[in-house]
Amino acid sequence: MLLTADDISRLIGRVALGNREAFTDLYSATSPKLFGVCLRILNNRAEAEDALQEVYVKIWRDASKFAPSDFSPMSWLIAIARNHAIDRIRASKPDAVDIDEMVDLSDETANPEKEAILSSDRRGIERCLDELPEARAVAIRGAYLEGYSYQELAEQQEIPLNTVRTWLRRGLLKLKECLER
Amino acid sequence: MTTEDDIKDPDDILAAEYVLGVLPHAEREAFAARLSSESSLQSRVQFWEGHFADLEEEFEPVTPPARVLSELEAEVFGTTGSDLARASGWWGNVGFWRGLSAISLAALVIVAGLYSGIISGPEGPEAIAPPVFVAELSGENGDVELVTLYDARSGIMKVNRVEGEPASGRSFELWLIEGGNDPVSLGLVPTASRGEVTVPEDLRDKFPNAIIAISDEPAGGSPAGQPTGPVLATGKATEI
């Protein structure tokens, strides 16, 4: 079932009023995407199925909190699914070691050359990730799409666990600077 | 522009880490707890969620197995039916319904007043309330009694089981009988004593002059599309 953003907003509105038919319609229209999110982050079918069910229970309860002006309805639903999947994975695999608190985040040299060749029509986050040193862009993208923890990022990037947080935070600050431009 | 102050703002970077999902469990929980009450954090989180949302196209849709939906419906509708009833006041008041059942349709006038007040109140006096139908279902010996209230606006039929419940391994099934036609299933009576049934689209205009009935069926409902067990209670749908 292909629905427009307005259709999905309306369905969420009716779900907020306790309409069961709307809830089932919303599930039919959106569950493949949200299941894709849970699967990608949890990397385990059985867990993803459980998570998906919990996500829709949450949607049923929290539908009245949806504010169409703040978000596209799909983004709102995806954020609920992502957050829930990440909560699950963080709760099941707590970080073994304390990681560094924020230390000096003083500037690193930008990459003006790379910046200059980027086309301006790319969307904000893609354009700004391209401006980052590649490893950091890969790490941020991986954290968003795969739900990697600091520990996993440290292993993948071969960075000591006690500095990975500062390393990633530098990337996030740069990202913000670019997004606000 | 990012000012020096922004860079030193620990909440902003925490918001980014929270949205990205990298925070360790305890910190994540602590941040989430603050988030529910601090609006400045909420707008920071919105900033990051809004931007990262552009990456969400990369999540490939995967159709979940059908059992997820059936388990979900059992969980959500099975447990919230009574919550909704509790929240809606008179609808959830068993005493009210037992009394109504006893004094029968005369009391529906009162219900009509209450109900139209609830559904048309916010729209002002000019609004024409869509039809609402009440049916009081009773059997010969009073073992089974139900009251249903169908709101044509939402397509939802509220079902209040006043007396009787299905035997173990059996279900009560609701039927709509229009004139001399065969009964058409409206679905199962919710297992909770108060619940809701969504009326199929093609039956929504059949309520004037309809009889509502329930029959005793195998768990999950009649396999035949027609009642297979005894009809336990019937009642006429009355517009209020």
| Statement to judge: residues A117 and A79 lie in one domain | no
| Statement to judge: residues A87 and A125 lie in one domain | no
How many Cβ pairs within 8 Å bridge chains A and B? 152
Residue A35 domain-assigned?
A: yes
Residues found in chain A: 181
Measuring CA to CA, which residue among B150, B195, B153 is closest to residue B176? B150
Which range marks the domain in which residue A42 is found?
Answer: 5-92
Judge whether B126 is closer than 8 Å to chain A, CB to CB: no
| Statement to judge: residues A62 and A31 lie in one domain | yes
Residue A99 domain-assigned?
A: no
Q: Domain boundary at A40, A60, A92, which?
A: A92
Pick out chain A residues at pLDDT < 50.
97, 102, 107-121
Give the pLDDT confidence of A160-174 residue by residue, as tens digits: 988 999 999 999 999
Give the pLDDT confidence of B79-124 residue by residue, as tens digits: 434 444 333 444 444 444 545 444 444 445 445 445 444 444 444 4
Number of domains in chain A: 2
Domain harbouring A51, CATH code: 1.10.1740.10
Residue A101 domain-assigned?
A: no
Q: How many CB atoms sit inside 10 A of residue A151's CB?
A: 18
CA distance A104 to chain B (A): 10
| Statement to judge: residues A17 and A54 lie in one domain | yes
| Statement to judge: residues A10 and A84 lie in one domain | yes
Amino acid present at B231: V
The answer to whether the Cβ–Cβ distance between A49 and B65 falls below 8 Å is yes
CA distance B103 to chain A (A): 30
Residue A146 domain-assigned?
A: yes
| Statement to judge: residues A25 and A84 lie in one domain | yes
| Statement to judge: residues A136 and A79 lie in one domain | no
Q: Which two structure tokens, joined as six digits, stand for A1? A: 């079932």
- DSSP per residue over chain A, as a string? ----HHHHHHHHHHHHTT-HHHHHHHHHHHHHHHHHHHHHHH--HHHHHHHHHHHHHHHHHHGGG--TTTS-HHHHHHHHHHHHHHHHHHHHS--SS--PPP---------HHHHHHS-TTS-HHHHHHHHS-HHHHHHHHHHHHH---HHHHHHHHT--HHHHHHHHHHHHHHHHHHHT-
Give the pLDDT confidence of B21-80 residue by residue, as tens digits: 999 999 999 999 999 899 899 999 999 999 999 999 999 999 999 999 999 988 888 743
Q: Which two structure tokens, joined as six digits, stand for A86? A: 């990440």
| Statement to judge: residues A136 and A83 lie in one domain | no
Residue A107 domain-assigned?
A: no
pTM of the predicted model, to two decimals? 0.58
What SS3 class is residue B212?
A: strand
Q: Which two structure tokens, joined as six digits, stand for A87? A: 């909560």
Beta-carbon contacts of A102 under 8 Å, excluding residues fewer than 6 positions away, are A165, A166, A169, B10, B13
